[in-house]
Structure formats: C-alpha cells, structure tokens
Chains A and B, each alone.
Chain A
Amino acid sequence: MKLRTSLVLGLLAIAAFSAGCGGAGGGSKSGKAEFVIGEYGSLTGSDATFGQSTKMGVELAMQELTANKGGKVGDLDVRAVVEDDQGKPEEAATVVQKLINQDQVAAVIGEVASSRSLAAAPICQGAGVPMVSPSSTNPKVTEVGDYIFRMCFIDPFQGTVMAKFAATNLNLKKVAILKDVKSDYSVGLAQYFTEAFKAAGGSIVAEAAYSAGDQDFSGQLTKIKAANPEAIFVPGYYTEVGLIARTAKQLGINAPLLGGDGWESDQLIQIGGDALNGAYYSNHFAVDNPEPRLQDFLKKFKAKFQKDPDAIAGLAYDAANVIFDCAQKLHDTDPTTFAGLSSAKAGTPERKAACAKLRDLISQTKDYAGVTGVITLDAKRNASKPAVVLEIKGGKKVYNTTINP
C-alpha cells in the first residue's frame, strides 16, 4: 500500500513537472520573438564528417549574422537548433519531426546524404516548412515537393561531368564501374555516368558492386583488372573509397580512380594514403580557386575552426545565408507576413502564410553569389552551377578544371 501511494505520488510529480516544463518552455518561446532555423545531420555515425562540416558552415553563417546585424533578421533574433540523426534515415525523420513540432523552426537545413534527405523531406513538405538541402545530389530529393530545395548540382549533371571529363580531358575509351549497391546516391551516379560516357563514345568494360561497410574488395577489383580498363569510376562515399584505392594498388591496378562529391572528406586521404594519387573527383568547390568570395570564406573558416573547410561546409554556409537573405527580403517587402516567422506564431495560419512566402522567395533565388559559386534555382528547385574536378596529388586535393552545366 505504502509503495503504491509513493508510486502514485511519484507519477503525479513527474506529470506535474513535465507539464510545468512544457508550459514554461512554451511560454518562454512564445514570449521571446525568434526566427528559429533547424539543422539536422550526421554529427555521429560512420560518415560523421558530413554532419559536422554542415554544422560548422551554419555556425560560421550565424557568427557573421551576429557580427553584421546583431544576430537579427528584421526585428527577430535568429537561433539555429542542431539535431544529430546518427547517419540513419529513420533518425533523420524523427529529429526533423522534433525540430518542427517542438522547436517550432520556420526553415530547415539538411542533409548531405540523399537517403536521409529523402526520409525527412516529406515531413517538411507536409508541415509546410521550407527545407534546403545543402548537398544532397540525388534528383529525387527535390521531387518530393515544392518546399524542398538544394544548394548543389544534381547527380545527372555530376555523372555527366565526370563522363565528359573522362572522355574529353583524360581521353579515355574504356572505364570500369564499382558502385555501392546500398546507396541511392551511388547507384544513381553510376547510371548517369554510364549513360553520358556511352553517349560520348566510350564503353563500360566491367561493372561490379559492393555494400557499404565491406572490408574486402579484392574479388571485385581482380575482376575489373582482368577487363583492363583505363580508369575505374567509384561513385561511393569516402568511407570505402580509401580501402578500394589501397586494394587496387595492391593488385597492381594503375588505372586512376574517378569519383563524385561523396569523396569529399579529410578522412579519404588518411585512409587511402598514396594509393589515391592520380585520382580525380567532381566537387562543389576547390580550396585553391582564387575567387575572392571563396578565399574570404576560407580565411574566416580557418580562423574559427583551425582547419580548411570542405565543400560540404561551404554549401551549408550558402544554404544558411540564402535562408537569412530571403527572410530579410520578406521583412523588407512584407513586414506583416514576416512577423509570422516568429516562434510566437508557431502553429497559427500566420506562420503558414509566412512559410509559404519564404518558400516563394527561396524558389526565386537568382544569381546569388555564394562561396560555392553563383546559385540560381531552376524550376525544379535545383541549383544549376558549375562543378569542379579535383585531382589528388601527393596527398593534396588540387584544382584541375571547371565544367559548366
């Protein structure tokens, strides 16, 4: 009996406490007028550099907003809430739900990996909250709906870029493909590369597959070696590419590896070592591009984080700034609607109208001078901008060429 009473009392206490929290939390949120943006990414997980770089990019954009405009857009304080999805699509859906329902965000930034953006996009679309993916390149992401945007080029273009580069710049005729069957990104990119490379007169002499997490690639690479290709296209993530390069070298394959922006991470070269020398991959920017806007970003990033940013960080920085810019535009042209972005208005019709207006403004982004290039969103809400090809030389990523859409 005594136990039971204390149990009931305990439960009551918990209920009261959580209700109090909810009330107080909600109260303080609605009391303070803020423009809250949410960001979700893989802060932990096997491809953690993706999420961490995105977070740093957004942090730098926030720091500049604080320095230049006192951290405000219009009369609203801007706050960024970051959530970790652990690199899992199902977690991405959960954390975005939380960002929208609990943190009352008015815009969302994320993700890098297309499979995770695809898991979260329908939730943003359904809630009418604009989502800007900095670097998901699979075309399906923005096809989810008219609230979903991206700051980067898409895989059909990226595949074409590498096919063009292989056929024209490297003058290759025979290429083999080694793709990750577990990833939407890798399978898609392999397909677009194949189509474009064949159209350019080349042939795919061998095709093999692996699954993310594999440790042994000798079987696939021995098969590829027998087909004697002039290069191997490996459209995977950096986590496996390093090992693939090592195994290829060990099997005596001298053909260079080619890849896409999934290679973009410091860990790529750490794992792959010398074996990656002579490899090429397409990317969103090159750190040795003399463009002043980019160099300025590099300097600021280095000052804040003591390291060079990767393209993922640059795209996240652009994504955050495009959102700030559009919100500012909304404030300047239509202050009444803009007020709906405030966290005080969460769940009201004013908020819905404000998000819809913000969406319209993002979709009209034209010639925005970002650090990853000039961004213009097309009718399908994809950025059309040039890709760069980087070469790995002596453990460094060196700019090779730019390929325009």
Chain B
Amino acid sequence: MSEFLQQLVNGVTWGSVYALIALGYTMVYGILRLINFAHGDVYMLGAFIGLYASGWFHAAENPNPLKALLVLLTSMLLSAGIGMVIERLAYKPVRKSPRLSALITAIGVSLLLENGGLLLFGADPKFFPQIIPAHNISLGMGVVISNQQVIVLAVSLALMIGLRTLVLHTKVGKAMQAVSHNHMAASLMGISVDSIITFTFMIGSALAAAAGVLVALQSPKIEPLMGIMPGLKAFVAAVLGGIGNIPGAVVGGLVMGVAEVMVTGYLSSTYRDAIAFVLLIVILLVRPAGIFGKAVTEKV
C-alpha cells in the first residue's frame, strides 16, 4: 500500500510538470489550430535561463525562497519574450498559408532551438544549482515527499489557477476565448487578433519556462535536448485531455504522469514509454476527442 501511495505521489508530481507544458500546447492550439512543436524547447530554454538567473542573483549562496521566486519569474519573463519573438518571426508570416506550412515551420523552429542550444550551451549536461535545498517530509505510512516536490506541485497549481482566472474573468481572457471561436468575428468586435495571439504565445512560453525551472530544481541536470521527450509527452497529454481544452490539459498531464510511473512500478520499466503511448491510443479509441474534448463535426 505504501509503495502504491508513493508511486501516486511520484506520478502526480511528474504529471503536474506535464500539465504545465501541456497548457501551452493546448492554448496555442485552441487559438491558432497550430501544434507548436517548439514548445518543448522553450521548456529547455526556461531551465537554462533559470541556470543563468541563479548566477545573476547568487541564488545558490544563502538560498532563500525570495531569490528562488526571482529566478522563476525572470525565467518566465524572458521566455515569454522568446515566445513573442518566435511567434512574430516564425509563425506570423505563415499564418495565412496552409496549416501544413505552419506545422513544418514549428518543427523547424524546434530544431533551430535544439541545435542553437547545443551550440550556445554545449551538449554536456549542466548542473542546476540548488536554489532551494532539499529535505524530506514524511506523509506517514512510509510515504515521503520532498519539499522540492511540494514546491513543484504548489507552483504548478497556483499557475493553473492563475491561468484559469485570467481566461475566464479578465478582458484579455475573454478576448482570447473570442479569438479561439472565430478570428474574423473577434476582429469585427474590435479585438486586436494579432496581439491576442502574441499574448497567448507569451503565456504558454512562460508556463513552459516555469516547468523547466521546476524540473531543474528537482532533477538538477539540464542539457539542450532535455525538452524533446517531455515536450512530446506533454503534447500527448494535451491530446489525451482534449486539445484546446484547458482543464483537459491539466487532467491529461496528470493521467500521463501517473500512468507512466505506474507502468514503471508495476509493469515494465523497459517499455515504459511504449506502454504509456499504447495507453493513449486506447483512450483515444474510446474517446476520440480526448477526455474533455467535445466531438466537433466539421462544417462543410
């Protein structure tokens, strides 16, 4: 029993990271119908910016939560800027082109960021400083959780709630919803579609960067190709939850994280990725639009 509970804790923590990354995929898809394959690489950039920011703020000497928060915010802010640049330079010019062009552009941006990262940071793994020293908290019944895991969970949860409030209860959020329904109609209502799309990219990138810093805090080894697998799995999580749907991305991320850990723990760690993806196929066979997705009939 305690083993099962421990695995559940592991799965939920890891899943909340997937959820944060999945949110970016789902938001961009909801508004542009574009799968932003470069998203996993923004997650990597977030971790690296966090590494440099810890240096700027001397966050590893006399670590305190305030400095750690500063590192997190710097990384989110700069990554939001990077998200804006990517959108303006790479995606905006092809927005009117067929959807396939945008998809291929996304793959191109992803490769650019990965190889640029290899060039800029070097391929050898870097150690992410311990901006919050780890200690364990016992939850009883032999289940332990580290303070870093608690931070990952708490920050993820706070960001998700923040995002939900932003989308449902602010003017920008309402504009985002309008744009996701129909670009033309939204612009007729006086919404600047371009700035809303840019804003969406910025929010998505900031969330991915937060995930990058949170993962680096827990597993302090970062390298330029670290975004590929988590990016892919978070994309799967977004599809699982119903792509375009914000609560769906959160649930999808958690399902993905827990499924992966449970497969490792109880089936086979050798085939964990394979089994996780098979699970996805099964869920999609039963619910083709994802857990929370609504089946939409294509208008002709």
Other-chain residue from B118, B127, B136, B229 in contact with A213 (beta carbon distance below 8 A): B229
Other-chain residue from A86, A214, A219, A251 in contact with B144 (beta carbon distance below 8 A): A251
- Residues of A at the B interface (CB closer than 8 Å) are 44-49, 86-87, 181, 208-211, 213-216, 218-220, 222-223, 225-226, 239-240, 242-243, 246-247, 250-252, 267, 270-271, 273
With A48-B123, A48-B124, A250-B136 as contacts: A219 and B3 at CB distance below 8 Å: no
Asked if B132 is at the interface (CB within 8 A of a chain A CB), the reply is: no
Other-chain residue from A47, A211, A251, A271 in contact with B6 (beta carbon distance below 8 A): A251
Which residue of the partner chain B has the closest CB to A218?
Answer: B10
- Residue pair A44, B122 in contact (C-beta under 8 Å): yes
Other-chain residue from B7, B127, B134, B230 in contact with A219 (beta carbon distance below 8 A): B7
Report 30 cross-chain contacts, Cβ distance below 8 Å, ordered by A residue. A48-B124, A86-B123, A181-B270, A208-B264, A208-B269, A209-B269, A209-B270, A210-B269, A211-B273, A213-B229, A214-B229, A215-B215, A215-B226, A215-B230, A219-B10, A219-B272, A222-B3, A222-B6, A222-B7, A223-B266, A225-B6, A239-B125, A243-B219, A246-B219, A247-B219, A250-B149, A251-B6, A251-B144, A271-B125, A271-B127
> Chain A's nearest CB lies how many Å from the CB of B182?
40
- Please measure, in the bound complex, the distance between the C-alpha atom of A209 and the C-alpha atom of B266, giving whole angstroms: 13
> Contacts of B265 on A, CB cut-off 8 Å?
219-220, 222-223
- Please measure, in the bound complex, the distance between the C-alpha atom of A181 and the C-alpha atom of B10, giving whole angstroms: 22
- Please measure, in the bound complex, the distance between the C-alpha atom of A252 and the C-alpha atom of B125, giving whole angstroms: 26
Asked if B221 is at the interface (CB within 8 A of a chain A CB), the reply is: yes
Which residue of the partner chain B has the closest CB to A45?
Answer: B123
> Contacts of B262 on A, CB cut-off 8 Å?
219
> Contacts of A86 on B, CB cut-off 8 Å?
123
- Residue pair A226, B3 in contact (C-beta under 8 Å): yes
- Please measure, in the bound complex, the distance between the C-alpha atom of A240 and the C-alpha atom of B219, giving whole angstroms: 10
- Residue pair B134, A223 in contact (C-beta under 8 Å): no
Contact-residue size bin, chain B (C-beta under 8 Å from the other chain): 35 or more
A-B contact count (CB 8 A): 102
- Residue pair A270, B123 in contact (C-beta under 8 Å): no
- Residue pair A220, B269 in contact (C-beta under 8 Å): yes
> Contacts of B124 on A, CB cut-off 8 Å?
44-49, 267
> Chain A's nearest CB lies how many Å from the CB of B43?
11
- Residue pair A218, B225 in contact (C-beta under 8 Å): no
Asked if B165 is at the interface (CB within 8 A of a chain A CB), the reply is: no
> Chain B's nearest CB lies how many Å from the CB of A263?
14
> Contacts of B263 on A, CB cut-off 8 Å?
219
> Contacts of A220 on B, CB cut-off 8 Å?
264-265, 269
> Chain A's nearest CB lies how many Å from the CB of B225?
7
> Contacts of B148 on A, CB cut-off 8 Å?
250
Which residue of the partner chain A has the closest CB to B3?
Answer: A226
- 0/1 per residue, B247-265, Cβ < 8 Å to A? 0000000000000111111
Which residue of the partner chain B has the closest CB to A49?
Answer: B124
8 A Cβ contacts from B81-134 to A: 118, 122-125, 127, 130, 134
Which residue of the partner chain A has the closest CB to B224?
Answer: A46
- Please measure, in the bound complex, the distance between the C-alpha atom of A70 and the C-alpha atom of B130, giving whole angstroms: 50
> Contacts of B260 on A, CB cut-off 8 Å?
219
- Residue pair B123, A216 in contact (C-beta under 8 Å): no
> Contacts of B170 on A, CB cut-off 8 Å?
none
- Please measure, in the bound complex, the distance between the C-alpha atom of A366 and the C-alpha atom of B146, giving whole angstroms: 54
- Residue pair B144, A252 in contact (C-beta under 8 Å): yes
**Which 8 residue pairs of A and B lie closest in terms of their CB atoms, listed nearest first?**
A219-B264, A218-B10, A219-B261, A48-B124, A226-B3, A208-B269, A209-B270, A209-B269
